[in-house]
Amino acid sequence: SRGPAAEPTHALARGPVVPPTRSSEGFLREFLRELQYGQGVTLARSSPNDQYLAMARAVRHYLMADWLETARRRREHPAKMVGYLSAEYLLGRQLDNALLATDMVDIVQEALAECGISLDTMRAQEVEPGLGNGGLGRLAACFIDSLATLDVSCVGYGIRYEYGIFRQTFVDGRQVEVPDTWLSFGNPWEFPHPEREVEVNFGGHTEQYTDEDGRERTRWIPGWNVLGVPYHYMVPGYQNGVVNTLRLWSARATHAFDLQIFNSGDYAEAVRAQTFAENITKVLYPEDSTPQGRELRLQQQYFFVACSLKDYIDQTLPPDFDLKRLPDQIIFQLNDTHPVIAVPELMRLLIDDKGMEWDEAWEITQKCFAYTCHTLLPEALEVWPVELVGRLLPRHLEIIYGINERFLEQVREAFPGDELRVRRMSIVQDHPFRAVRMAHLATVAGAKVNGVAELHSQLLRDKLLPDFAQMYPDKFTNVTNGVTPRRFVRQANPALSELISEAVGPGWERDLSRLSGLESFAEDPEFREQFRQAKQANKERLRALLLVRDGVELPEGHLLDVMVKRLHEYKRQSLKLLHVVTLYESIRSGEVAAEDVTPRTVIFGAKAAPGYHMAKETIALINAVAKTINADPAVKGRLAVAFPANYNVTLAETLIPAADLSEQISLAGMEASGTGNMKFALNGALTVGTDDGANVEIRQLVGDDNFFLFGMSEPEVAALHASGYVPSQVYADNPRLKRVIDLIASGAFTDGDPGRVSAFVDDLLYNDRFMALADYQSYIDVQERIDAAYADTEAWTRSAILNVARAGFFSSDRSMHDYLDRIWGAGIRL
């Protein structure tokens, strides 16, 4: 009954899918039809949510024909496909993206106006799907956007979390997390396919048996299982008629609930299995670069890769497909270590389910995976306790041991007598506890391993995985990250986009190298004036938004200094805070006259992982400092601090285009790449940054004159570590720094209570793992240069234009070309 319908007889049913008429009248018809027949309300009685759902579905109609056609084309002319395996996709709002992809903004606006509905009101109805923590998840969203735009066959595989990243609120300045109920008003962008559910097993044990050919084999007798239901999302390319698919999995119980127990009155027990199963995809794991291995997280990881591999092999490939040819058909890109359990899963499928021998299965597996590492923090490389893997996935643990045994033999062969190296490289560590090192597994199994910026890839080879780089020099490569110019320039910054189109002509959204055509316009005073007006318009937009969203009143005419990213010690929001207090202290103490200060508003946006104590302390302190400064008449009109809660993709889209200054101030050697840094440069903000991550490449491209570099380089950081870093000495030796820290420590920002800041201050003075104090003076000096530079409006604008003109490299389309050239290999059709 689930098979295809019988051959249709009517011409309409046989012909291709016909999209609705592209006119405001055509759209109006679709909209009203959806409202009346889909939502079951008349326009007069409809709520804004009814209207939003109906219009979103109406917009969907215009993508549908392309989606079905893309799928048909890919079935009929199969090319090698990219299976992007990612535990996170930070998609951002879908409506605008769909309108842009279909080029329907004007049509829709006109149609809605006929009904007295504003498109902006509709936009504001959408709750963004926050299915990611930060840069890694947003990168995945940019990549699938680019692959659709380049017409590369790709399916993004991931998890449909019922609750995405928490909504951040502040209570007395402290972060309080509220669940993200993004699905509660209905989600018009997803297509559930319960008929394509797959079963995923866990637990139990393995046993040996002899098959009918007399071969000794192993089989897994699982202890329990759940179902994975796919939800499909459209991933439209930019105005090119291509729509790829994002397939997110949701967990369901195999047996929904026990009617007998229910009838006996034990309602909780009756739904226990269901609750247990559904917990697997209940919440996004609330972490960013520091793993706290928990059982549920491993369940999530295995759940989504098991669903995805099974879906691909059993449902996407033709039934008679010869699995020896698998590497010609698919490359699975492992987005960080989260999906790496897919490696033993593919081995298990090939050996246990399909009857292959180990060596053949391993040869295939090694060609089907590539691994992207996104971190430099050793503690962020996931390890899973052997005990846990053995309990949840006993067969996979055996396979991992099998891979490790053969791999270590090769190590011993290549480096005879070097048992220390063998221990360092082993996929299974013994100390400090017995665990599977997922990064090692991915590196051994992956055809390629890449870092995400030049410096990161170099440090990956030299410091994080040096033994592997020595053994497999050809495996290691770099692909510098990128961002989609559709969402982050065209959609987020219409004023600048219009200017760019006037200057370099249409089509730059698909070929961002054409931004270089702006170079000569930097010398044109009239263009500079227009550029400033665009920036001003963006600031006005931000002012209006923050007033409504947060009740924050941004002062006018200020340098807008923005630091938005996850809160993490290595990113050094603390250093930014020291700068803010330095400015404040110098005006208050009369060291500088208020009228000599370049007026500046500093905007922070940052979520802290719920269990990350120091990050939460930093948030509380930023809010306390903001409150004091904003209330102090002595600095009024010169210095202001804003910290809108719940920074997310939607806020980024208004904030980034308005910024003058982009803060990228991590300790050198810590930020793998950063992608916010790229978004700011593309929107004409100047960067103040360390030589870290992709900052290095940004600076090389935009030029030293258009980038404010400060701080130690990575080798200098390493040297200072080696020689012994004593932060309290830096404090003692720098009178200005001392005044600033003393002021914070005195409780000046915390109602006279030093107790509320002691954890922060003590950490800076006696630990300071990320050397904020060591870079303090350099940072203050560069900020003074920035103040002076901003005062020269023409020169600043010129630099800002050159940033845009020279940042075309950071399009995620270019990243995709690099993946195609360096990693995914031949067979992928462009």
Smallest gap from residue 375 Cβ to ligand 9GP (A)? 4
Distance CA 94, CA 179 (A): 21
Smallest gap from residue 691 Cβ to ligand 9GP (A)? 14
Does 692 bind ligand 9GP (CB under 6 A)? Our answer is no
Contact criterion met (CB below 8 Å) for 445 and 455: no
Pairing of strands 330-335, 205-210: unpaired
Identify the residue among 168, 250, 333, 481 touching ligand 9GP (CB under 6 A).
481
Does 487 bind ligand 9GP (CB under 6 A)? Our answer is no
Nearer to ligand 9GP, 441 or 789 (CB): 441
Does 464 bind ligand 9GP (CB under 6 A)? Our answer is no
Does 374 bind ligand 9GP (CB under 6 A)? Our answer is yes
Smallest gap from residue 387 Cβ to ligand 9GP (A)? 25
3-state secondary structure of 190: strand
**Would you call 374 a catalytic residue per the annotation?**
yes
Distance CA 568, CA 563 (A): 12
Nearer to ligand 9GP, 197 or 336 (CB): 336
Copy the structure tokens of residue 5. Answer: 């319908």
Question: Which of these is catalytic: 57, 571, 588, 814?
Answer: 571
- CA distances 113 to 25, 48, 55, 116, 117, Å, are 11, 14, 13, 5, 5
Smallest gap from residue 140 Cβ to ligand 9GP (A)? 9
> Which residues contact residue 604 at a Cβ distance below 8 angstroms, ignoring those fewer than 6 apart?
563, 564, 573, 576, 622, 626, 641, 642, 643
Contact criterion met (CB below 8 Å) for 263 and 291: no
Smallest gap from residue 485 Cβ to ligand 9GP (A)? 17
Stated as kind and residue range, the H or E segment containing 176 is: strand 174-178
**Would you call 675 a catalytic residue per the annotation?**
yes
- CA distances 301 to 287, 337, 370, 438, 634, Å, are 14, 10, 17, 12, 53
Nearer to ligand 9GP, 187 or 573 (CB): 573
Side-chain-side CA neighbours of residue 540 (13 Å): 7
Does 775 bind ligand 9GP (CB under 6 A)? Our answer is no
Nearer to ligand 9GP, 338 or 535 (CB): 338
Does 491 bind ligand 9GP (CB under 6 A)? Our answer is no
Taking residue 769's Cβ as centre, other Cβ atoms within 10 Å add up to: 14
Chain residues 247-266 in contact with ligand 9GP, contact rule CB under 6 A: none
Nearer to ligand 9GP, 136 or 309 (CB): 136
Nearer to ligand 9GP, 638 or 814 (CB): 814
Chain residues 377-436 in contact with ligand 9GP, contact rule CB under 6 A: 380
Smallest gap from residue 239 Cβ to ligand 9GP (A)? 27
**Would you call 448 a catalytic residue per the annotation?**
no
Nearer to ligand 9GP, 62 or 468 (CB): 468
Distance CA 23, CA 107 (A): 6
Return phi, psi of residue 756, to 5°: -75, -15
Does 452 bind ligand 9GP (CB under 6 A)? Our answer is yes
Chain residues 350-369 in contact with ligand 9GP, contact rule CB under 6 A: none
**DSSP state letters, 562-598:** EEES---GGGTHHHHHHHHHHHHHHHHTTSS-GGGSP
Place of tokens 């699938």: 144
Does 687 bind ligand 9GP (CB under 6 A)? Our answer is no
Question: Which of these is catalytic: 338, 437, 539, 566?
Answer: 566
Q: How far is CA 340 from the centre of its chain?
A: 18
Q: Closest-CB residue for ligand 9GP?
A: 135
Question: Which of these is catalytic: 93, 252, 338, 374?
Answer: 374
Q: Is 803 exposed, middle or buried (0-12, 13-18, 19+ CB in 10 A)?
A: buried
Does 674 bind ligand 9GP (CB under 6 A)? Our answer is yes
Copy the structure tokens of residue 233. Answer: 């999302």
| Rounded (to 5) percent helix, strand, coil in the chain | 55, 15, 30
Nearer to ligand 9GP, 173 or 291 (CB): 291
Nearer to ligand 9GP, 583 or 652 (CB): 652
Interface with ligand 9GP by CB under 6 A: which range of 92-100, 576-584, 665-673, 789-797?
Answer: 665-673
Smallest gap from residue 373 Cβ to ligand 9GP (A)? 8
Q: Is 465 exposed, middle or buried (0-12, 13-18, 19+ CB in 10 A)?
A: buried
Question: Which of these is catalytic: 396, 565, 568, 756?
Answer: 565
Number of residues that bind ligand 9GP (CB under 6 A): 18
Chain residues 323-342 in contact with ligand 9GP, contact rule CB under 6 A: 336
Side-chain-side CA neighbours of residue 518 (13 Å): 34
Chain residues 98-157 in contact with ligand 9GP, contact rule CB under 6 A: 134-136, 139
Does 173 bind ligand 9GP (CB under 6 A)? Our answer is no
Does 375 bind ligand 9GP (CB under 6 A)? Our answer is yes
Distance CA 797, CA 684 (A): 8
**Would you call 310 a catalytic residue per the annotation?**
no
Smallest gap from residue 372 Cβ to ligand 9GP (A)? 7
Using DSSP, how many helices (H) and how many strands (E) does the chain show? 35, 25
Smallest gap from residue 172 Cβ to ligand 9GP (A)? 29
Contact criterion met (CB below 8 Å) for 610 and 177: yes
Identify the residue among 162, 660, 663, 671 touching ligand 9GP (CB under 6 A).
671
**Would you call 566 a catalytic residue per the annotation?**
yes
Nearer to ligand 9GP, 153 or 443 (CB): 443
Distance CA 487, CA 6 (A): 42
Does 288 bind ligand 9GP (CB under 6 A)? Our answer is yes
Question: Which of these is catalytic: 252, 588, 679, 699?
Answer: 679
Residues lying near ligand 9GP in the complex (CB under 6 A) are found at 134-136, 139, 288-289, 336, 374-375, 380, 452, 481, 671-675, 693
Please list the active-site residues. Answer: 374, 565-566, 571, 675, 679
